[in-house]
């Protein structure tokens, strides 16, 4: 059986006795969700993360698959990011917004720090020997 990233693995509900889902920094997090209900169905894709085999959850219970997003060379969203245009970029922060001003005002004024004391000069270092010839 030859598999590649993006292949779907159909599994019966009783096929696995134990499954451990470990969230990464790019994973989807849902506040308050700790456990999936019995019989819930997740969509997942086979791939790699840090050189190890991995399964990425691509569909949570109640969501539909979007086959347009899955491509053959899609390595956990790498192709989608590479092909996305400027419309998907986050807007620049607005420094005139009330939220930005409140963050700037929250920084307290720091007192002036004294200058560091003068340090003595380092002694002269001896010359390094020549390196041997490399093959």
**Interatomic CA distance for residues 78 and 105, integer angstroms:** 39
Q: Are 59 and 42 in contact (CB under 8 A)?
A: yes
Biggest alpha carbon distance in the chain? 74
Instruction: Give pTM, 2 decimals.
Output: 0.25
* Range of lowest pLDDT (83-92, 95-104, 118-127): 83-92
Q: Domain extents for the chain?
A: 1-11+38-80
For position 89, what pLDDT does the model report? 46
Spatial CB neighbours of 39, under 8 Å, sequence gap ≥ 6: 13
Q: What is the mean pLDDT of residues 56-63?
A: 69
For position 122, what pLDDT does the model report? 87
For position 90, what pLDDT does the model report? 47
Q: Are 48 and 39 in contact (CB under 8 A)?
A: no
């Amino acid at each position: 059986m030859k598999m590649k990233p993006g292949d779907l693995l159909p599994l019966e509900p009783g096929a696995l006795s134990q499954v451990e889902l470990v969230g990464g920094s790019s994973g989807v997090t849902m506040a308050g969700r700790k456990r999936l209900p019995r019989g819930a169905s997740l969509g997942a894709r086979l791939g790699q993360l840090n050189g190890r085999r991995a399964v990425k959850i691509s569909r949570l219970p109640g969501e539909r698959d979007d086959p347009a997003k899955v491509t053959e060379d899609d390595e956990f969203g790498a192709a989608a990011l590479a092909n996305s245009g400027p419309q998907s970029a986050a807007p620049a922060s607005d420094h005139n917004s009330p939220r930005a001003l409140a963050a700037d005002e929250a920084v307290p004024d720091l007192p002036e720090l004294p200058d560091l004391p003068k340090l003595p000069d380092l002694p002269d270092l001896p010359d390094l020997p020549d390196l041997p010839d490399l093959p």
